[in-house]
Structure formats: structure tokens, C-alpha cells
Amino acid sequence: MTNYSKNLPRADVLSGIQPTGNLHLGNLFGAITNWVDLQKSYKCAFCVVDYHALTTVPDAQELKANTESIVIDLLACGIDPNRSILFVQSDVPEHLELYWIFASLTRYGELARMTQFKEKGGNRETVGLGVLNYPVLQAADILLYGASKVPVGEDQLQHLELTREILRRFNKTHGFLFEEVTALTTKVARILDLKQSSSKMSKSHPEGAVFIDDNEDVIRKKIKKAVTDTGDDQQEMSPSIENLMGLLRACNQDQYNLMLDAYNSQNLRYGDLKVSLGNELCEYLKPIREAKNEWLQKKEEVREILFEGSKKASSIARPRLEIARKLVGLG
């Protein structure tokens, strides 16, 4: 079988983030810090997925503002446009064309079984088609760039498996074009809500989230008010304490080791843990906030970065899409 992917340009790693508002610790430690590390070793493409954001039917001006804001946040956190390709999804129209080719190969039952679709009310007639087809566009996002590695959280592993199924079906039906992809999971896979340890940290519940824009007083107050339930099993660390410890570890390994030793010896005072975590978060986020303020003064440069990023992204995506079109009989 002819390998049509041979010699095509590619990115090693592809990942995306929705423009839904300011970054919080779940975004930062669950994804962005991992991206910053990956760009040191791989050719990475990072995408602001504004088409995906349309599934919530956002206000047009709000979506535009959030897209610009999330790009500035990514730059402030350390995404380097000289090392990585940073672009906005809707600036690269190849995404939607490959999405439709993939949608024609994907079965309704596969999409209806997706856990996230069910969680968003998949059994109701009022649920938008975009919510159902979300994983298909996600597959197009990944496979357009020939990326073999995809940083994902545990909640996205099912979608990545569907991506594998779609690429195998395309290759079998039309010809070998898309390479296999593997998941890259993060050390801090899931950051929990500070007030509700049964839920992920989310922008929709700001009381339980720490945002990178929060000032130091707000950060310390939120950590001080974080729940510290002991859990049902006294032999194991409760989810809320494990969450605080995980955040501390992400900020400062030495402080984490000290608190873990205290916990293991049953000498940990939760007040001390919160003070330590509050201090370390303030120290960790300070340079990010300062960098963000600098980028806010350079919006023309940000637009130029996105313009160049879209050109670089298209130079990888277009050749692969052109072959896909020919293989399915288009053009």
C-alpha cells in the first residue's frame, strides 16, 4: 500500500485550548506547563480552537475578546512562537474541510456513546449538532498536522481513541495518509474545584478556581477557604487534600516534600499547608502576571504572531488536505 504521508511536513505535537475566558490553575498545570516543556524537545503546534467554542453559542464580541485574551495568556505562560506554531483554528480553513471528510466516515453511534456528549445532555433533542460532532473536528485538528503525540487529560482519552478509529478507517478505505497518534498525559492530570472536590476546577465556578489574573490577596483568600475534608477512608489522603498537595508539588517540589513528610508522620496541620500553598502560588504566578501585562501593551505584535502562525500551520495542513481530497475523489 502506498504511504501518502511520506515526506509531508508535520508537527510532532498538536494540542488546543478553547477561548472561554481567563486561564485558571486547571488549565495551567493540567495543560499549559506541559506544553511549555514539550516545545523544548518537539516541534509543537498549539491551537486556539474557536470553532469548538461555537458549540456554546457565545456572544460574538465576547468570543473575539476571549480569543485574543487566551493567546496573550499562552504567551505569558511561556509558549514561544519562535519554537512553536501558535495559531487560531478559524484562521486555517483546512480544519473544516477535513472535518467534513471525516464526518462522512464516522457513525452516529460512535459519537452518541462519547461520555462528554452524554454529560452535556446527549439524550435531549435540544443538544446542538456541534456537541455531537465535536470529536470529529478534534480528529481533524490533530491529523491535519501529522502529529504523533497529543497532550490530553484523562477526560479526552476516549476522543483520542475515536481519532485513531477514524484515521484507520480512512486509511483502509481510501489509502494510507494518516499516522497513528499516542496520548501524552500530564503529571497533574486533574485539578479539582477548591470548594467542591467532586468537580474539576472550572471557569463556571470562580469561587473554587484560582485564575492567573487573581491578585495575591485573592489567591491567599481562596486557598484559605479551600475545603479540607478528611475523606471516608482515614488511611488514604482525601481528594481535597490531595488536590492542594498536587498544586503545591506543581509549584515547589521541596515544599511539597516537607508537607508530605508531615502528612505521613501525622503532623500536618492543614492551616500550614494552605499558608505554604498560598505563598508558593503567589510566587509562581507573579512572573506570569508581569509577562501578561507586558504582552497587553504589544497587541500588534500578538496579531503578527498569529498571522505568521496561521501561515506556518497552513503550510503543514494544506498538502495533507490536498492528498485527502484526491483520495476521496474531490477536485
For 35-72, the pLDDT digits (tens) are 999 999 999 999 999 999 999 899 999 999 999 999 99
Q: Which phi and psi angles does 173 have, rounded to 5°?
A: -80, -40
Report the pLDDT value the prediction gives residue 279, as an integer from 0 to 100.
97
Helices 299-328 and 60-77 pack at an angle, to 10 degrees, of: 100
What b/e readout covers 68-90, taking b as 16+ CB neighbours within 10 angstroms?
Answer: bbbbbbbbbbbbebeebbbbbbb
Closest CA to 302 of 72, 9, 10: 72
**How many angstroms from the chain centroid is the CA of residue 161?**
17
pLDDT at 264: 93
Average of per-residue pLDDT across 205-210? 94
Cα 308 to chain centroid distance, Å, stands at 22
Tell whether the model's pLDDT for residue 122 goes beyond 70.
Answer: no
More confident: 46 or 155: 46
CB-based contact 21:66 (threshold 8 Å): yes
> CATH topology for 206-293?
Tyrosyl-Transfer RNA Synthetase (1.10.240)
Distance between CA atoms of 247 and 241, rounded to whole angstroms?
10
Residue 34 grid cell: 506541559
Tens digits of residue pLDDT in 218-266: 999 999 999 987 555 556 788 999 999 999 999 999 999 999 999 999 8
DSSP 29: I
Residue 40 to residue 51: CA distance in whole angstroms: 28
Q: CA-CA-CA-CA torsion for 229, 235, 237, 238, nearest 10 degrees? A: -30
pLDDT digits (tens, 9 = 90+) for 8-27: 999 999 999 999 888 999 99
Query: Which residue spans of the chain are classified as CATH 1.10.240.10?
Result: 206-293
Residue 60's Cβ-count burial label (10 Å; 0-12, 13-18, 19+) is exposed
Q: Where are the alpha helices (DSSP H) in the chain?
A: 25-27, 33-38, 50-53, 60-77, 94-103, 108-112, 115-119, 129-143, 157-174, 216-224, 239-251, 253-264, 270-296, 299-328
Domain with CATH 3.40.50.620 in the chain: 13-189+299-328
**CATH number belonging to domain 13-189+299-328:** 3.40.50.620
Question: Distance between CA atoms of 132 and 120, rounded to whole angstroms?
Answer: 10
Q: Phi-psi category of 329—alpha, beta or left, where left has phi over 0 and alpha has psi -120 to 50?
A: left
Alpha-helix residue ranges (DSSP H) falling in 20-128: 25-27, 33-38, 50-53, 60-77, 94-103, 108-112, 115-119
CA dihedral (205, 210, 211, 214) in degrees, to 10, reads: 120
Please check the confidence at residue 189 and state whether its pLDDT lies above 60: no
Per-chain mean pLDDT for the chain: 92
Q: pTM of the prediction?
A: 0.92
Which residues are identified as catalytic? 120, 200, 203
